[in-house]
Structure 1
Amino acid sequence: MAAARHKVTLGHVSESDELPESPARSTFTVAFVVGVSADKWARVWAERMPHLPLVLRLVDDAGALEALDGDADMTLARLPLEIDADVYRAIPLWTEMPVVVAPKDHPISVVDSVTLAELEDENLLEGRDDDALDLVAAGVGVARMPQSVFRATGRRDVKAREISDAEPTRIALVWKAGPPDDSVDEFVGIVRGRTAQSSRGTGGEAAAEPEKKTERRQPPRGPAAKAKPVHRTGLRALPRSKKSGGKRRPR
């Protein structure tokens, strides 16, 4: 039975979730948005806090703060959000690269990145879920989302390219302001890479210096890797790369 205490569970936060009646925690709950992977932190938590099981709950972006009104002790939210400093404490963690997702045969497939101006004439679809990406794959339009969200979909029937001049989003660890809490301090330390021997104590306040972490830009594959630089006035005018005739240059 003791091994069950190390189990990390996944679920969804609903509006009907209520705070536990007892002030003493039986679990420690962290909500997180799509695109965030908390597995490595869960493993460290299980090693350091075996007496307090960690529960992970998946929420959408809009429900990240609302989760703290339910049974979530902390939440990994996507900024920007309206965060009242008198109510919440927040530590920004890393930024996310914005991408545009388009059909595989779209002109963006031969470039490394695009600009917002080049997307002005595109039909921008709402949403980041599979339904929106189904429409993208069918050629109805394009979708914009953080790169981490696109990777989480695992879709291979569409292409994603960086939007070089778009404002990035940021992931932050958020919790309600209150008296010092050892469990909250412990999770903050785990997320920030603090060792078990390090001193703890956030004092209920956010750290002054956030961790600096950005998503790595992946090298292009396939046609995009061979495409020559092009001068662009709009995506629809983008020329496709041409294959060489197989002639060798004279040495």
Structure 2
Amino acid sequence: MTGSEIPPSFRLAYVPGVTPTKWVRIWNERLPEIPLTLVAVTAAEASDVLRGGGADAGFVRLPIDRTDLSAIPLYTETTVVVIPKDHIAAAVDEVSAEDLADDIVLHTHDEPRDWERPPGRPPNARPRPARRPPGGPPGELVAAGVGLLVVPQSLARLHHRKDLTYRPVTDAPESRVALSWPEDATTDMVEDFIGIVRGRTVNSSRGRTATPPQPKQRKRPDAGDARRKPAAGKSGGKTPRGGSGGPKGGKGGKGGKPRRRS
């Protein structure tokens, strides 16, 4: 390898709340010669990271500007509200946006969802994007009584604290997670990762890791069987000279009168 050659690698971006562990494990099993590097990004910056070449592909939250990005929707998440355990909403199993009308509701930059009318009263400023480890600034603001936090359920788990809980918001839009990559950079490695995420097996007909089908070999007849089987139209046993294989004394055999017994 010359000094100008760069060994192949795959960079995978992911937004908070997405756990790519399973797909990374399968990648490492199938393509151990190509290291996979994880790149943590916020939902707001994910598209720019992909466009700028900071990652080959990434798990993003929809909607995104798909002018030059491809995206495969993967799953949806329930939207929940993160509340202190002593909040009145903690006494019920679920709430509606109207139930939150009198509360200050925080919206992080990690959740670029389209609300027709955001629930609750807006705060003076939006909290900073969520970062790992769990229990970042938004969770601290909720615990301090500054406001409630409306996020996808996975982010509620990310912000988990002993003094917080969460409840589903029944009429809130769902959050969709998708795998995205630049349209003009659909490389073989991107195709390989798409196959892994879609559940294709290692022997799938698509992707570089697929094993081409092997031609079936015709079974050769056993040499002993060939010797034992007679050729078509021939008898399997020896025939006597002079014609048919009938009993002696018939036509064509030695004739004579039978002897008399004395």
TM range (shorter): 0.5 to 0.7
SS at match of 1:113: coil
1:150 to 152, 156, 167: 156
Q: Give the match for residue 90 of structure 1.
A: 71
Paired residue type of 1:159: T
Q: Give the match for residue 81 of structure 1.
A: 64
2:102 to 121, 126, 130: 121
Q: Give the match for residue 27 of structure 1.
A: 9
1:106–1:23 Cα change, 3 Å: farther
Q: How does 1:1-251 map to 2 (within 5 A)?
A: 26-68=8-50, 69-84=52-67, 87-125=68-106, 126-127=126-127, 129=130, 130-178=136-184, 181-201=187-207
Deviations 1:35-74 (A, max 9, x none): 0001111111011111110001100011111111133100
Between 1:24-33 and 1:103-112, the stretch displaced more is 24-33
SS at match of 2:176: strand
Tell me the distance in 2 between the aligned counterparts of 1:180 and 1:147.
31
Paired residue type of 2:191: D
Tell me the distance in 1 between the aligned counterparts of 2:43 and 2:153.
15
Tell me the distance in 1 between the aligned counterparts of 2:23 and 2:172.
30
Q: Give the match for residue 245 of structure 1.
A: none
TM-fit CA distance, 1:199: 1.7
Q: Give the match for residue 15 of structure 1.
A: none
Larger radius of gyration: 2
Tell me the distance in 1 between the aligned counterparts of 2:187 and 2:146.
50
SS at match of 1:114: coil
- Normalising by the residue count of structure 1, what TM-score does the alignment of the two structures yield? 0.67
Tell me the distance in 2 between the aligned counterparts of 1:124 and 1:179.
39
Asked if structure 2 preserves the Cα contact closer than 8 Å seen for 1:32 and 1:58, the reply is yes
1:184–1:121 Cα change, 3 Å: same
Paired residue type of 2:188: D
Alignment coverage as a number of residue pairs: 180
Tell me the distance in 1 between the aligned counterparts of 2:157 and 2:185.
38
1:23–1:90 Cα change, 3 Å: farther
Asked if structure 2 preserves the Cα contact closer than 8 Å seen for 1:29 and 1:72, the reply is yes
1:72–1:97 Cα change, 3 Å: same
Q: Which runs of 5+ in 1 are unaligned?
A: 1-21, 203-251
Asked if structure 1 preserves the Cα contact closer than 8 Å seen for 2:71 and 2:180, the reply is yes
1:31–1:180 Cα change, 3 Å: closer
SS at match of 2:44: helix
Asked if structure 2 preserves the Cα contact closer than 8 Å seen for 1:101 and 1:160, the reply is yes
CA RMSD of aligned residues (A): 2.1
Tell me the distance in 2 between the aligned counterparts of 1:144 and 1:186.
35
Identity percentage of aligned residues = 44
